Amino acid sequence: MNTAALLACAMLLDAALGEPGWLWSRLRHPAVLLGDGVRFLDQRLNSGAHKRLKGVAATTVLALGAWLIGWGLSALGPVVEILCCAVLLAQKSLVQHVSDVAKALRLSLPEARSTVARIVSRDTGEMDGPQVARAAIESASENLSDGVIAPAFWFLLGGLPGLLLYKAVNTADSMIGYRNEKYEQFGWAAARLDDLLNQVPARLTGLMIALLANRQSQWRDIVKDARRHVSPNAGWPEAAMARALGVALAGPRSYHGQIRHLAWVNESARKQIGAQEIARAVEILWQVWALALGLVMFGIVISLLR
Task: Of 146, 176, 144, give the one whose Cα is nearest residue 163.
Answer: 146
pLDDT at 173 over 80: yes
The pLDDT assigned to 20 comes to: 80
What is the distance between the alpha carbons of residues 145 and 159, in angstroms, rounded to a whole number? 18
Among 65-74, 137-146, 246-255, which stretch is predicted with the lowest mean pLDDT? Answer: 246-255
pTM for the complete prediction? 0.95
CB contact set of 238 (below 8 Å; sequence gap of 6+): 138, 141, 142, 225, 226, 229, 249, 250, 265
Beta strand pairing status for 249-250 and 264-265? antiparallel
Q: Where are the domains of the chain?
A: 3-305
Among 35-39, 67-71, 179-183, 239-243, which stretch is predicted with the lowest mean pLDDT? Answer: 179-183
What is the distance between the alpha carbons of residues 163 and 143, in angstroms, rounded to a whole number? 16
What is the distance between the alpha carbons of residues 250 and 279, in angstroms, rounded to a whole number? 18
The pLDDT assigned to 64 comes to: 97
How far are the Cα atoms of 10, 46, 192, 221, 293 from residue 53, in angstroms, in the given order?
A: 37, 10, 14, 39, 40
The pLDDT assigned to 23 comes to: 76
How far are the Cα atoms of 131, 139, 206, 257 from residue 237, in angstroms, in the given order?
A: 18, 10, 4, 27
The pLDDT assigned to 256 comes to: 82
Instruction: Note the pLDDT tens digit of each residue in 236-287.
Output: 999 999 999 999 999 898 888 888 888 899 999 999 999 999 999 999 999 9
Instruction: Note the pLDDT tens digit of each residue in 181-227.
Output: 899 999 999 999 999 999 999 999 999 999 999 999 999 999 999 99
Task: Of 237, 66, 255, give the one whose Cα is nearest residue 161.
Answer: 66
- In terms of phi and psi (left: phi > 0; alpha: psi -120 to 50; beta: otherwise), the region of 47 is beta
CA angle 174, 176, 180 (to 5 degrees): 115
What is the distance between the alpha carbons of residues 291 and 115, in angstroms, rounded to a whole number? 29
When the pLDDT of each residue in the chain is averaged and rounded to a whole number, the result is 94
Contact assessment for residue 115 and residue 40, using Cβ atoms and an 8 Å cutoff: no
The pLDDT assigned to 303 comes to: 85
Task: Of 4, 30, 57, give the one whose Cα is nearest residue 164.
Answer: 30
The pLDDT assigned to 21 comes to: 76
